[in-house]
């Protein structure tokens, strides 16, 4: 049995070994500090990030000075970063500021300057990282990578490491750097890009986690609703397969004399899986976007059932609702209940009358099942093009039929539809009037196809007005949508 004092001494030795910088990063060439237990080592001359380590997460990042990263600005075909630059560092009790008066060396037409700050976060477990870049040259920048973390390392088994994003994960260290069968002559690194897209790509929120079940590092950006949202890029080196660069890529066109700011990035080392690392991000979201009252059947329900009602009739809705209720489903979404492409929406007379549709929905509600007709008010018939001042025939010609393919136009023939820009104020007013019309009839649950905004809150504000009206009639009314190419922060706000 090891005496208690000896156990404590061994623990101290292990912790010291973990937090001690590697041999090539010691002495006058490095500058180390610890904030909220995260040990950070910078190159004394260039300001490049050389090492991140944490008692619970282990060594998170480790790289030689020549590969030290932190920020990378693209200008005139050059990558301007700490390597080869001169940095000035100023430390305080809870942070450090790194200033590059000339980032990446002199330019023929001026210079790019940058400032990066580290500081302890008030949550006691995270470190805040932020950057400013000023363009003092005559041209325009094209890209900023920040944070640009070079030298991220696997924790434990490389094959078990995950780079987890909101809608999926990859195992970045699990495969060879050079793909199998690739010729020997190849680029020394291979970039992978994870574009920001909130429905068809993995990177759908400003959050990621790199780690495994034993620990890792979570990162999120505090820039709620603001756009653009950075994409993620990674690369590995064949000379060191367990070395990875991870950058948040913003295609930042910084004009001469202008300053770009990153906003705050929170770095949270953690023990355990990503569910522990995401906690600070969850708290932040709840602050900027407080939870709203949710109908009990939605909050506690198993899910919702989608049904193509054109295979039956409106009179089938009560029977469908009763069957759903028996299976524990409290919400139905009815597709193809109308002839799509028009505002006001046109019911399908082959399925019954409007009165029969509304009666069926009300009977379902009496059973405790909400029924949300599936609306598409965005892909519209060319007959409405003049009203909204748009060009006809520019849509995808979506076919809402259970036996027909959708969005097929192989010969390039006129589609007969146009795709609506949701910023159109006339269209927004028509949408509000249309949903009010159905709410007045007694339909208070809605589903929306192609919830696509164009860099503005116009569509979100439109639906907010609809929801405010519906709640006065039915507080239990629901609204669901396909957030197509939309910023999820704005959609949920």
Compute the average pLDDT of residues 123-137: 97
Compute the average pLDDT of residues 153-164: 95
| DSSP 8-class letter at 481 | E
- Read off the pTM: 0.82
Give tens-digit pLDDT for 193-213: 999 987 778 999 999 999 999
Helices 317-326 and 354-366 pack at an angle, to 10 degrees, of: 20
* pLDDT more than 90, % of the chain: 72
| pLDDT range class, residue 131, cuts 50, 70, 90 | very high
| pLDDT range class, residue 191, cuts 50, 70, 90 | confident
Specify the pLDDT at position 399: 65
Specify the pLDDT at position 258: 97
The closest alpha carbon to 382, from 345, 339, 427, 418, belongs to 418
| More confidently predicted of 185 and 253 | 253
Query: Please, what sign has the CA dihedral across residues 160, 165, 167, 171?
Result: negative
**Least trusted range by pLDDT, from 59-68, 101-110, 287-296:** 287-296
| pLDDT range class, residue 231, cuts 50, 70, 90 | very high
| pLDDT range class, residue 410, cuts 50, 70, 90 | very low
Specify the pLDDT at position 456: 78
* pLDDT more than 70, % of the chain: 87
Compute the average pLDDT of residues 208-229: 94
Residue 55 CA to residue 63 CA, distance in Å, equals 19
Q: Give one word for 452, left, alpha or beta, with left for phi > 0 and alpha for psi -120 to 50.
A: beta
| pLDDT range class, residue 25, cuts 50, 70, 90 | very low
Fold classified for 28-175+189-288: Beta-galactosidase; Chain A, domain 5 (2.70.98)
Q: Which CATH class is domain 296-492?
A: alpha beta
Compute the average pLDDT of residues 340-365: 96
Residue 335 CA to residue 318 CA, distance in Å, equals 16
| pLDDT range class, residue 244, cuts 50, 70, 90 | very high
| pLDDT range class, residue 309, cuts 50, 70, 90 | very high
Question: Based on C-alpha coordinates, what's the Rg of the chain?
Answer: 28
The dihedrals phi and psi of 466, each to the nearest 5 degrees, come to -60, -45
Specify the pLDDT at position 93: 83
Specify the pLDDT at position 415: 62
| DSSP 8-class letter at 103 | T
Specify the pLDDT at position 316: 97
Out of 1-10, 65-74, 298-307, 454-463, the most confident range is: 65-74
The closest alpha carbon to 452, from 412, 423, 430, 426, belongs to 423
Specify the pLDDT at position 5: 33
Average pLDDT, the chain: 88
Residue 354 CA to residue 336 CA, distance in Å, equals 14
Compute the average pLDDT of residues 369-383: 95
The dihedrals phi and psi of 178, each to the nearest 5 degrees, come to -90, 120
- Indicate if the pLDDT at residue 46 is higher than 60: yes
* Number of Cβ atoms within 10 Å of the Cβ of 316: 15
- Indicate if the pLDDT at residue 402 is higher than 90: no
- Indicate if the pLDDT at residue 339 is higher than 70: yes
- Indicate if the pLDDT at residue 482 is higher than 70: yes
The closest alpha carbon to 207, from 298, 126, 115, 119, belongs to 126
So where are the chain's domains? Answer: 28-175+189-288, 296-492
* Number of Cβ atoms within 10 Å of the Cβ of 176: 10
The helix (H) or strand (E) run that includes residue 12 is helix 4-19
Residue 488 CA to residue 453 CA, distance in Å, equals 10
The closest alpha carbon to 458, from 481, 487, 433, belongs to 487
Residue 461 CA to residue 458 CA, distance in Å, equals 5
The residue ranges of DSSP E strands in 195-320, in sequence order, are 207-212, 215-222, 231-237, 240-250, 259-261, 264-271, 305-308
């Amino acid at each position: 049995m090891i005496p208690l004092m000896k156990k404590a001494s061994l623990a101290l030795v292990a912790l010291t070994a973990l937090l001690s910088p590697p041999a090539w990063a010691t002495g006058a060439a490095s500058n180390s500090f610890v904030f909220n237990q995260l040990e950070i080592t910078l190159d004394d001359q260039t300001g490049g990030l050389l090492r991140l380590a944490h008692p619970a997460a282990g060594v998170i990042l480790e790289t030689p000075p020549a590969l030290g990263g932190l920020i990378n600005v693209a200008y005139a075909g050059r990558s301007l970063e700490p390597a080869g630059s001169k940095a000035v560092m100023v430390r305080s009790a809870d942070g450090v500021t790194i200033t590059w008066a000339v980032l990446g060396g002199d330019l023929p037409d001026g210079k790019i300057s940058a400032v990066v700050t580290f500081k302890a976060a008030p949550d006691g477990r995270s470190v805040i990282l932020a950057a400013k870049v000023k363009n003092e040259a005559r041209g325009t920048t094209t890209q900023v990578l920040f944070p640009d973390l070079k030298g991220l390392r696997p924790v434990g088994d490389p094959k078990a490491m995950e780079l987890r994003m909101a809608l999926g994960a990859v195992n970045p260290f699990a495969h060879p750097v050079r793909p199998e069968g690739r010729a020997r002559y190849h680029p020394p690194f291979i970039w992978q890009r994870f574009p920001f897209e909130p429905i068809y790509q993995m990177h759908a929120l400003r959050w990621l986690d790199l780690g495994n079940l034993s620990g890792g590092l979570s990162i999120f950006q505090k820039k709620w609703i603001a756009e653009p949202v950075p994409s993620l890029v990674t690369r590995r080196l064949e000379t060191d397969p367990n070395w990875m660069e991870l950058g948040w890529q913003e295609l930042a066109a910084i004009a001469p004399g202008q300053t770009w700011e990153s906003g705050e990035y929170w770095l949270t080392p953690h023990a355990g899986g990503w569910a522990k690392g995401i906690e600070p991000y969850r708290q932040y979201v709840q602050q900027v976007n407080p939870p709203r009252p949710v109908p009990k059947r939605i909050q506690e329900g198993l899910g919702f059932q989608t049904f193509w009602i054109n295979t039956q009739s409106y009179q089938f809705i009560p029977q469908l609702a009763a069957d759903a209720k028996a299976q524990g489903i409290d919400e139905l979404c009815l597709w193809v209940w109308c002839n799509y492409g028009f505002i006001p929406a046109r019911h399908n007379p082959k399925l019954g009358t409007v009165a029969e549709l509304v009666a069926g929905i009300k009977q379902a509600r009496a059973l405790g099942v909400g029924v949300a007709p599936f609306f598409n008010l965005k892909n519209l018939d060319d007959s409405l093009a003049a009203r909204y001042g748009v060009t006809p025939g520019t849509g995808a010609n979506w076919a809402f039929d259970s036996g027909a393919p959708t969005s097929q136009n192989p010969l390039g023939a006129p589609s007969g539809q146009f795709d609506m820009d949701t910023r159109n104020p006339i269209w927004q007013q028509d949408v509000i009037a249309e949903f009010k019309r159905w709410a007045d009839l007694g339909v208070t649950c809605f589903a929306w196809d192609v919830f696509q905004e164009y860099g503005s809150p116009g569509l979100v504000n439109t639906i907010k007005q609809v929801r405010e009206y519906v709640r006065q009639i039915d507080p239990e009314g629901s609204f669901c949508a396909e957030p197509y190419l939309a910023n999820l922060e704005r959609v949920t706000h």
